[in-house]
Structure 1
């Protein structure tokens, strides 16, 4: 069995409030990371909401928050005998895991996956800076906070975050690959594809409102789906796809349109590129860190112009860029950022 030379076989505990049956980039990232680390001989365990009672998040019933007790979380973490503790999310489990580490003086790392301040502000009258204040408090005791892109690192520094390190993302280049168009052949072309959650923060409405030729296709679901289906009856809403069906959708599209302005990375971008599908997106954090070759996609504040330009690009360049993102490289960055969960000289009065 191969053991990664950067770290002898270790026990790694990852705490996450985001887990199956949720379908999102956080869950896919953690599952892919664990698969790679286990290939290298590391023991990876997860503390997730699965064993606990949960309640749905208002307006997001597909996202459920754990009602785990302090005792249950502390006992699970103690029994893991982890060499490294990584807290991936800032929800109820993340809070209890943070408390465990601080009370026992154990070092830990965290990661920043989701722009909750922007998401909350889109639906609730909560100033973004209040939410960022909570997130700074949450991440401050961590030895490192891992972020997916250089652009996001600079943004978070501007919000007062410190000890930030990069942890990029990969893509399954075997599952997502170029090939024959097997879907959408009965629809007028070109075929413009969006994959992801259908919700306000994803800005799907901007894609659907574009005055561009062809057929718009939406893969995914979410709280805004019913409303947007009524507004755009000519758009094809497919719902969630998985496995080979999802891969076929990517490679059958002529352009992948990514209208979000709030994603921290955008795993769907690398999946589209690996499938040989050029990307059209806004020039914001996430797309500008991923779509770094203008031959593979187009970034513009005029999203319609970006779509029209991407339709003229060669698919081979998209695939070549997608091949640069691997889970092996991602996992190496992750393990290089870990810290031993040894007792350290911090008190709750100092950091909690």
Structure 2
């Protein structure tokens, strides 16, 4: 199958969305699919306001359309609601090409945390964006229930996977610091509630891996915390494995790939009892969820590494990729766009539905 994934989040960004899409791409290619990514690195970009590390594509509708048409995809998946996602969605509607979407980030809560944009306004816009899709993929049952209650249609599940070869238990001597080591990995940004972790009175050492708009301010405010910057690959895996507990203070993540990476490294999790941690940990006993985050950290230190690793091994990328492909709604016997027949979807009359939607939006 020829699959085009459109994403406003891509390298050189380092975050859970990028790692998820890159690993999905590699897994699908290994399974024999032809996969292309339409991302900001193919266009001129400008920095995102208040978050310059994120680059937004300055792409015209024509430029996006030409790239889509040249690739001749059998299936199009729009992973983000940014400039590229919006233009690709418009192209699909104009040409009657069915597409799927996925919801990775709670943008309404992020925008409210940064600029106090009313949450209901952003959810209304996102509902309109995703309602045009054949299906919208979400990672967890709690997110699916929340979006259904907000009126989002056509929701299906797409779980995540973790690279258990890269992320595995290793020598804890990689971090030379007083024990226990409490680790945070992720964006250093207000929407991640990272200060909930930094201000805790905990024994040992706090280590923060990541970059973001609050890094300079928080480094000055909490001089005892080790801020080591963004890490990738083997070095990132070594930081995970050297920790004694992984602290996840976010209340807004839709899943939290870092939770699986920590667990695969044999490190227990301490987090709030909110969607994301609730879905990933379940009843596994591989972490502690509590409104008192400090108490959760201290209790999680007693959890054996083997329990964490065993739970993470349930999340295989091969299973995640198969689930993703089945959600695309493209029949496997008719996925060659070069055959001249174009995509064939299992949903009823997707092209006619697309044309109705674009006429409605034009009005």
In structure 2, how many angstroms separate the alpha carbons of the residues matched to 1:34 and 1:151? 26
- Which aligned pairs between 1:295-310 and structure 2 lie closer than 5 A? 295-310=285-300
2:270 pairs, out of 280, 291, 307, with: 280
**Residue 249 (1) aligns with residue 256 (2):** no
* Equivalence map 1:133-172=2 (5 Å): 133-172=124-163
Matches within 5 A, 1:75-224: 75-185=66-176, 187-224=177-214
Q: How many Å separate the matches in 2 of 1:127 and 1:293?
A: 34
Task: Answer yes or no: is 1:345 the counterpart of 2:352.
Answer: yes
* Mean CA deviation greater in 174-183 or 23-32: 174-183
The C-alpha deviation readout for 1:292-347, integer Å capped at 9, x for no partner, is 24531101111111101101111100000111111111101100100344561132
Query: Cα RMSD (Å) of the superposition?
Result: 1.2
2:336 aligns with: none
Contact map agreement 2:140 2:157 (CA 8 A) in 1: yes
SS at match of 2:126: helix
Aligned counterpart, 1:6: none
Q: Displacement, 1:243?
A: 1.4
Tell me by how many angstroms 1:46 deviates: 1.1
Q: Does the aligned pair in 2 maintain the 1:107–1:339 contact within 8 Å?
A: no
Give the drift of 1:106: 1.0
- SS of residue in 2 equivalent to 1:285: coil
**Correspondence for 2:316 among 326, 329, 333:** 326
Higher mean displacement: 42-51 or 293-302: 293-302
- Distance in 2 between the 1:271 and 1:248 partners? 11
After superposition, what is the alpha-carbon deviation per residue over 1:155-184, rounded to whole angstroms, capped at 9, x for unaligned? 111211111001111000000001221322
Match of 2:303 in 1: 313
Contact residue 188 and residue 215 of structure 2 kept, 8 A: yes
Report how far residue 125 of structure 1 moved: 2.9
Structure whose residues are more often helix by fraction: 2
Aligned partner of 2:337 in structure 1 is: none
Deviates more, 1:290-299 or 1:300-309: 290-299
TM-score when normalising by structure 2: 0.92
Name structure 2 gaps, 5 residues minimum. Answer: 331-342, 345-349
Contact 2:284 2:311 in 1 (8 A): no
TM-score normalized by structure 1? Answer: 0.95
Unaligned ranges ≥5, structure 1:
1-9
Question: Deviation at 1:42?
Answer: 0.5
- Tell me by how many angstroms 1:63 deviates: 0.6
